[in-house]
Structure 1
């Protein structure tokens, strides 16, 4: 995590990486056992654990590819990407996944039929290069892409799929990491102060929502 000494592990696409062990109590996780005892005796350590676990649950995204987007979204995404330059099918899938922060990875079974349909409509040309097809927009395809006066589909996947903004998830991850570090190495007094900071952060976040 930004070069810090936190034991973040390798992760698997979640913005929390190795913090996925929160609440498990197993090796490598940040379960209650790290705070001494079972974690069920209350106190600042237990409060820190609860806050960290809530952060993990709030920001942990669904596994890559689980977002269900409408067929029109795949079409719009393909047109938007090909407007930037020729790509083959796998590149399109990878670009959508990266630009959506991993919240949307369309399957080959949705991308390639869409490319074929766009080709049938005269919007896309397919050229065989090095054993694979590279797709590019025709003039009609460029006109169709320009007429689509709306944000790229991956820019709204968070809202449609109940996901979280990538930057917000990263900030939540960093906060959880800092709380974990205090819980693991801090004194009782430091843990008390950390709980106060987290409580204040929570109140201020709700205040933002209250602003409308």
Structure 2
């Protein structure tokens, strides 16, 4: 691929510095991560404040006891896929809530399941008149932005798959399709 293509579109280094002699799969995954973080920064879809994770956990546990993965999945589902908190934010929050005496954990069918204590139920009920953290009031977080973000990430994932397993001819075809797609996207933007 030529230098102009390598340096356009995904930051200052293109697809991880180019394809010649590099690992194209790793370069595509780097581009995928750049694209994903770009969408997340622009739409604010996955970065929520620490208090939002806490409020979401309390709101969900007010409904029923849950295990950690179930909490993560439920937040993602209720936010329409726009917010999926990481295990690295949910599990420390669960531990903090347990330390504060707001929740307790017990083994249930081989999983640590969390439920509210009386004090936790009081706090969760007191906050229940406010919108749940996954209910965004920002118009930028609407379905159209989520759809565009999802489509972009899926395109990057398909590109990465092709980079890992495609033939040289398929890679050349894909580069042509992606170049045309980029031009068409800029044409759409120019209309506005």
Relative to its length, the structure with more helix (as a share) is 2
